[in-house]
Amino acid sequence: MEAIQLLTNRSSNSKLSDPEPDSETLRLAYEAAGRAPDHQNLRPWRVYAVRGDARTALGELLAGTVRRKQPGATNEELDKVRRKALRAPLILVVAAAVEPHPKVPAVEQVLAAGAAAHAILLTLQARGYAGIWRTGDGAYDPEVKRAFGLREQDAIVGFIYVGTPKVPAGNSARPAPDSFVRDWNG
């Protein structure tokens, strides 16, 4: 797939099934992530692959987030959250390990991890797989971060659900560039 076509046609797909991407595709996706813009070469991105039974454990972890935020949550609501971790054969948890740096504020390190996540999504789509980037309360929960060995200052930038598309991704409307691009003349 040509790069410009990939960039201008990228779209999320939540209808995913087995198989997960093959090892060569994942290697390429991780290699692409490693090319993300990175001020001072801090390489703040971390990627945690969650597959198989570990998805059930992630579902429990995310249900814990709901229990802490909504003590009155019903079993049905908690089960719905648990099932979300099973909607794709692979979940890539992308995080930023943020370090104090005199030239690189935390926001730049988080953005670098976000750029790495985007590179992963583009690589997957180029190779015929699909994914959808989600966050939700779990991305900001200290217990979830701790479960991944992350610290308070670190950030989970997203849960990328990955698999083989069950159906082609919809072509959602995108804004025309003139709706967000402006000339600035000082």
User: What CATH number does the domain containing 156 carry?
Assistant: 3.40.109.10
31-50 confidence digits (pLDDT tens): 999 999 999 999 999 999 99
CA torsion sign, 171 to 172 to 173 to 178? negative
Structural domain includes residue 171: no
Supply the Cα-derived Rg of the chain in whole angstroms.
Answer: 18
Domain that holds residue 110: 11-164
Please give the DSSP secondary-structure letter assigned to residue 62.
H
Quote the number of domains for the chain.
1
Domain membership flag for residue 37: yes
Q: How confident is the model at residue 127 (pLDDT cuts 50, 70, 90)?
A: very high
160 is a domain residue: yes
Residue with tokens 């054969």: 89
* Any domain includes 5: no
**Has residue 36 been placed in a domain?**
yes
Interval 53-73 mean pLDDT: 97
The pLDDT tens digits for 5-17 are 989 888 899 999 9
Q: Is residue 63 part of a domain?
A: yes
pLDDT interval class at 169 (50, 70, 90): confident
Residue for token digits 């409307």? 173
What sign results for the dihedral spanned by CA atoms 79, 84, 85, 88?
A: positive
- 58 domain-assigned: yes
